[in-house]
Amino acid sequence: MVELLSSLTSPRLQRVDAEGRLAVKHTDRGSVIDRLYQSGAAKIRFPASPESRACEAVLINTAGGLTGGDRLSWSFRAGEGVKLICTSQACERIYRSRDGEPARLSVKIDVDKGARVSWIPQETILFDGCALERSVEADLASDASLLIVEALVFGRAAMGETVRRVSLRDRWTIRRDGRLVFADAVSFAGNDMEDQLQRRAVAKGHRALATVALVAPDAERHLDHVRERFPDLASSAFAGKLLARLTANEAHDLRKMLIPLAEVLSGENALPKVWAA
């Protein structure tokens, strides 16, 4: 009886161990699925879009979020001449880790000759006490293009949530023809997250922040337009790359800036329907 009560009061939660893989090829009908694999809570759906020749992939984590010990990986290959848009059905939620072990989320993107990929998931919401290790790794052909839009939200302001403790390690690595062209690393740790976000060099007191990176042969040509349309935005462009960082009081305000900025940088890839709605 003692053992039975112990098992009832201290359940072992099932961990998420999920993977989704997608390869897309170019045909006379546009960009279509070549190979698809999905396991565990990782699902990929493809909204019908007769007017578009791009392939839009909507990623779903059926577990509803991630917590300590969970693993979720996505990998994509865009074949020659492909136009691929990857987004998420909903915001990814990173819940409190009871034992301090991080959730692990990895993204791998391969972009072949003449292809263009937009990686535009909806916001990642960080809850108090969460721990996350995330990596985005991309390999591009010489004339391929990649747009990345990643947003972080520290708690939901509308719900009155306070985020004091977070452990986050976020790494981006982008190579072109095997040569490193862009690397970025962000780390948050400690029990004073509200104080850290107050720092001007971090978030200026805001709770929602985003990084936007365009790696493309013509990336620099967008800079004047971006600075003219978004004069308060921190942005720069050099050597086939454009980088912008945004902050806002909450997710809704951040979206009002992210959507028009992503539209400017998306080129021939229209914004995903879940963002445009």
Each residue's pLDDT, cut to its tens digit, for the chain (277 residues) gives: 333 333 333 344 578 899 999 999 999 989 999 999 999 999 999 998 767 789 999 999 999 999 999 999 999 999 999 999 999 999 999 999 988 899 999 999 999 999 999 999 999 999 999 999 999 999 999 999 999 999 999 987 667 678 889 999 999 999 999 999 999 999 988 888 888 888 888 888 888 999 999 999 999 999 999 999 988 888 999 999 999 999 999 889 999 999 999 999 987 777 887 886 5
20 part of a folded domain: yes
Q: Does residue 10 fall inside a structural domain?
A: no
198 within some domain: yes
**Structural domain span for residue 212:** 15-276
Which amino acid belongs to residue 265? Answer: L
- What's the rounded Cα separation, in Å, for the pair 140 and 240? 12
What does the pLDDT read at residue 36?
Answer: 98
Question: Is 269 inside a domain boundary?
Answer: yes
Prediction pTM value: 0.90
Q: Would you state the pLDDT for residue 199?
A: 86
Query: Which two structure tokens, joined as six digits, stand for 154?
Result: 């520290």
Question: Could you tell me if residue 3 is inside a domain?
Answer: no
Q: Furthest-apart CA pair in the chain: how many Å?
A: 72
Place of tokens 């099932």: 14
The answer to whether residue 8 sits within a structural domain is no
* Residue 130 in domain: yes
Q: Into how many domains does the chain fold? A: 1
State how far the Cα of 117 lies from the Cα of 145, in Å rounded to an integer.
Answer: 6
- Please give the C-alpha separations between residue 265 and each of 36, 196, 268, in angstroms, as whole numbers: 28, 30, 9
* Alpha-carbon span 191 to 196, nearest angstrom: 10
Answer whether residue 39 is part of any domain.
yes
